[in-house]
Chain A
Amino acid sequence: MSDYLWDKTGEPDAETERLENLLGQLRFQPTPFDLPAEIPAREPRPAPLPRSVFTWPRLALAASLTLAMLAGAWLMLRQQSGATNGPAEMAKQNAQMNAGGKQVSPAAPKADGGATETKANDEGKGDETPAVAPTQGDETQREEHTAVRRRPRLPDLANNRPRRLPHAAAPHSSRGESAKRRDNLTPPPPEPAQREEMARAEREAAEKVLYALRITSEKLNYARQQVQDTSRGEDNR
Chain B
Amino acid sequence: MYNVEATGELLLSGHTQPTAPREAADERGQESALVEQVRAGDREAFGRLYARYGRLVHGILLARVPYGEVDDLVQDVFMTALRKIDTLRDTGSFGPWVAMIARNRAMDFHRRSRETTEVTEAVAQTRAEQREAVEVLNLIRQLPEAYREPMILRFIEGMTGPEIAERTGLQPASVRVNIHRGMKILRERLAGDAGKGQ
Contacts and interface: CB of A to CB of B under 8 A. Distances in A.
A6 B55 contact: no
Contacts of B46: 33, 35
B50 A27 contact: no
A233 interface: no
B185 interface: no
A108 interface: no
B86 to A, nearest CB: 6
A6 B176 contact: yes
B60 to A, nearest CB: 11
A6 B161 contact: yes
Interface residues of A, number: 26
Nearest to A8: B160
A30 interface: yes
A6 B160 contact: yes
A215 B62 CA distance: 87
A46 interface: no
Given A6-B176, A7-B160, A39-B82, A26 B55 contact: no
Nearest to B38: A39
Interface string A15-29: 110011011111110
Contact of B75 (A23, A25, A27, A34): A34
Interface residues of B, number: 47
A39 B136 contact: no
B130 to A, nearest CB: 5
A27 B51 contact: no
B96 interface: no
A137 interface: no
A31 B136 CA distance: 25
- Interface secondary structure of B, over-half rule: helix
Contact of A22 (B133, B176, B187): B133
A151 interface: no
B64 interface: no
A36 B79 CA distance: 9
B71 interface: yes
A23 to B, nearest CB: 4
B78 interface: yes
Contact of A28 (B9, B74, B137): B74
Contact of A42 (B74, B86, B161, B180): B86
A15 B136 CA distance: 13
Contacts of B79: 36
Contacts of A154: none
Contacts of B94: none
A146 B75 CA distance: 96
Given A5-B180, A33-B50, A19 B136 contact: yes
B43 A35 contact: yes
Given A1-B13, A16-B183, A42-B84, 9 more contacts: A3-B13, A5-B183, A6-B160, A6-B179, A23-B137, A26-B133, A30-B51, A31-B71, A39-B83
